[in-house]
Structure 1
């Protein structure tokens, strides 16, 4: 009888494009999301937690740069009725389904915010994961530009609340109708050519005016030396696009005047400019100047479903890349108006506008600014000197917890006290509580300040100095909670 092959052990590794998040990372994210939620609630938005799984049909064909609905998502087919299901790729498509399903029970307009992970089945890369967090706020059911202005104001307030000061960010606003008006004035009828022009416009930040001019024409050599075919427009056809992309001026009034020239006699373009004028006036009335929110025609987002104003929050401070070169941090949030998304379910146009914050990018920005990223303080450690007195140690920990102090009892092998202190060091514990038999008889405990002890240890030269160092103190057992609270500043 042949010997059965041993089943290989599974590899202990995360799949490509996924990662694990540990204590301080989770705590930092939760703290930031809590601050964002406070701002959203202040503006009257209610929380919504929708299903992580949707039907592929409900998600639709709105994933950027993807043609087929089940391409780019993690999808599977149900055995019973052959329905295709998928993990949500953003938080906006599920909102459209929720509103269509529950619209008779929801207020109009409906303001909601949502926070949670989303999944995209795309090629991972440096800093690009297949699972990441988003934080959205949307208003469904009103065509008023006041809703778009409110979203921009709320985004500015959110950035400042989480620790991005004024001067380190700018919220840029544009309007897809203006861009569509430019395309209308170019008199391009072929859908394929229009799409090619849109893709080229989207590269403006990377290749600049000269690069876009080449790509709209015959083509250009990229940085690698490869030749990229152009759209094939004449210089005259390309001119409105270039006027549009370079129309930003020193003031909003000058920018709008340049945009009017770019759209020519297009009614749609004029409508988009009028909406930008209204948004600018509403923001000015609330005290949001051009140093915080500005009209910027170079913002081109959401070739899939944005139908009106579009927004982007960009961080303007410099960081150094992996090669030590300075560069701007870039975009951390984006959004806009999408008046056709709910219509897929209801057959009726339902206006909507919203914003999505890239949580991981914003956290990375805060770390780059030194706003977060310090070592998180671990729990106070109650050491175990006598395993038969575990109840006494658990009582101490319970008293500390009941006072709102994070605490734990050492649950490893207590035989080697040095190992307990090594464990405390790995846990970043600020204090260690010590009660041996002698301390128990005298009604005292010893509190060891591990942070101070670590700092003093670097400068102590002799045993005499070590004995005199003030990193630990004997206190009355009944004073434990008040003493620890004072030491921790609670």
Structure 2
């Protein structure tokens, strides 16, 4: 007797780990925000660019989360011809490939902005997903730090354009050349042998980047022998001597009450390093250019604590921090933190061309910026749905579709109820779930008299919760209007909401 084959089970309806689905209001809010950002970028003369979501692993290069394992952190697969392909990790590496490939056809400098999802094959966690949106703007082909100052000014304008008020953010600027100068003075960077002490420098960079979370004592421990956290986990330190660590700590604490005072202190710290002195000069120039355009320290400031994590930054680096407080999951107040960052990366295109091509740019974390706007109450939790035309008589479906067509032609979002029309209560429940502001009702009696009923669902809900009997009578949530006035009356009702 033949063995009965096992019937395959049904697939589980679950989102893959580290990914999520986005529904109506989230997608609409993101598009509206991206449109406003694009408006600012276009005002600054940047052109849009869309690149493929897939790149060769070779093109993505070694600028990934773990520089010791260049193919880690990406979703990659091998083609039949042996080439390895991967989903893009960010929007900057594809830009470097595009500029190298089409440089003879593109203007120099080339100014572009790009928006879209990126993918990172990393361990997911709370609020940390493997797919997320980025919004980048970059200038390729000019070495002047005027381009960096412009990016910072544009970032400031962008945050204000999407609804982050002045005073609720600050764009912080530092320079990797200054930091390299500090490393040189501390004895962990040899200009004649850049690879020497690379591991120690990596630990130092990560330690500085954790200042907000660990504090000065935690960072100092990481600069030395290492640190043991509350759970007992040990993080290896850079192994710096006390004197070496103090040089780095002095750099992190170099910020003063004014940009000029901060620059002066940095100049003292790196006086023995030519690279460091160049970096301080560039910082001073950026501050002067920003101030000349009306961007004072309340919007753009010099902050030595800013360290961008990726290895390709070669000069100025910047980060936009939101300064207002929110409540965490446990109800404790905390600052929202960073929503964008970037800097100068003069060596990235060189991987393709063999020639140094200066470039600078910024990347906005779209999901974090949306979360910030929600925290500030600038995005409604629920968006208004379409007007719902109810169905009282199946035989008159064409008349209901005609109503919806008129509303759409007038620019009013509308739909006809296409479920089972038998139970009118179910139609009202559907309209509520859709967030419909108004329901259009026309039975055979109304049709004979040439009228329609307009039920103001939003007003009805408000009156049901708060209104007195007198207010209810004075503001009826349902009214009868001539069929010919359907569009005009609906528009008036929607304008009031």
State the TM bucket, normalised to the shorter chain.
over 0.9
Which of 265, 280, 291 is equivalent to 1:258?
A: 265
Answer yes or no: is 1:323 the counterpart of 2:335: no
Which of 214, 225, 236 is equivalent to 1:207?
A: 214
Corresponding residue SS for 2:103: helix
Structure 2 alignment gaps of length 5 or more: 189-195
The equivalent of 2:312 in structure 1 is: 305
Shift of 1:302: 3.0
Mapping of residues 37-116 of structure 1, within 5 Å:
37-79=38-80, 81-116=81-116
The equivalent of 1:481 in structure 2 is: 487
Which of 426, 444, 466 is equivalent to 1:419?
A: 426
- Greater mean deviation of Cα atoms: 110-119 or 62-71: 62-71
Asked if the contact 2:63/2:310 (under 8 Å) is kept, the reply is no
The equivalent of 2:296 in structure 1 is: 289
Counterparts of 1:150 and 1:465, CA distance in 2: 55
Asked if the contact 1:198/1:303 (under 8 Å) is kept, the reply is no
Which of 263, 267, 275 is equivalent to 1:268?
A: 275
The equivalent of 1:404 in structure 2 is: 411
Counterparts of 1:327 and 1:114, CA distance in 2: 31
Report the CA distance shift for 1:217/1:469 in structure 2 as closer, same or farther (over 3 A). closer
- Greater mean deviation of Cα atoms: 446-455 or 144-153: 446-455
Query: What is the root-mean-square deviation in Å for CA atoms of aligned residues?
Result: 1.7
Q: How many residues align?
A: 488
- Greater mean deviation of Cα atoms: 302-311 or 289-298: 302-311
Counterparts of 1:466 and 1:32, CA distance in 2: 38
Asked if the contact 1:243/1:258 (under 8 Å) is kept, the reply is no
Report the CA distance shift for 1:459/1:171 in structure 2 as closer, same or farther (over 3 A). closer
The equivalent of 1:127 in structure 2 is: 127
Report the CA distance shift for 1:466/1:336 in structure 2 as closer, same or farther (over 3 A). closer
Shift of 1:130: 0.3
Cα deviation, 1:22-45, whole Å, max 9, x if unaligned, reads 000100000111110100000000
The equivalent of 1:34 in structure 2 is: 35
The equivalent of 2:143 in structure 1 is: 143
Counterparts of 1:156 and 1:394, CA distance in 2: 47
Report the CA distance shift for 1:321/1:466 in structure 2 as closer, same or farther (over 3 A). closer
Shift of 1:461: 9.2
Counterparts of 2:210 and 2:426, CA distance in 1: 57
Corresponding residue SS for 2:51: coil
Shift of 1:459: 5.8
Shift of 1:468: 8.0
Counterparts of 2:67 and 2:434, CA distance in 1: 45
The equivalent of 2:193 in structure 1 is: none
Answer yes or no: is 1:442 the counterpart of 2:449: yes
Corresponding residue SS for 2:284: helix
The equivalent of 2:164 in structure 1 is: 164
Counterparts of 1:47 and 1:393, CA distance in 2: 42
- Greater mean deviation of Cα atoms: 453-462 or 162-171: 453-462
Answer yes or no: is 1:345 the counterpart of 2:346: no
Counterparts of 1:242 and 1:271, CA distance in 2: 21
Counterparts of 2:466 and 2:255, CA distance in 1: 59
Shift of 1:184: 1.1
Asked if the contact 1:66/1:72 (under 8 Å) is kept, the reply is no
Counterparts of 1:303 and 1:331, CA distance in 2: 16
Answer yes or no: is 1:230 the counterpart of 2:231: no
**TM-score normalised per structure 2:** 0.95
Which of 340, 356, 361 is equivalent to 2:363?
A: 356
Counterparts of 1:380 and 1:329, CA distance in 2: 37
**TM-score normalised per structure 1:** 0.96
Asked if the contact 2:177/2:314 (under 8 Å) is kept, the reply is yes
Counterparts of 2:218 and 2:268, CA distance in 1: 22
Counterparts of 1:54 and 1:320, CA distance in 2: 39
Cα deviation, 1:246-280, whole Å, max 9, x if unaligned, reads 10000111101111121131000000001001111
Counterparts of 1:460 and 1:111, CA distance in 2: 56
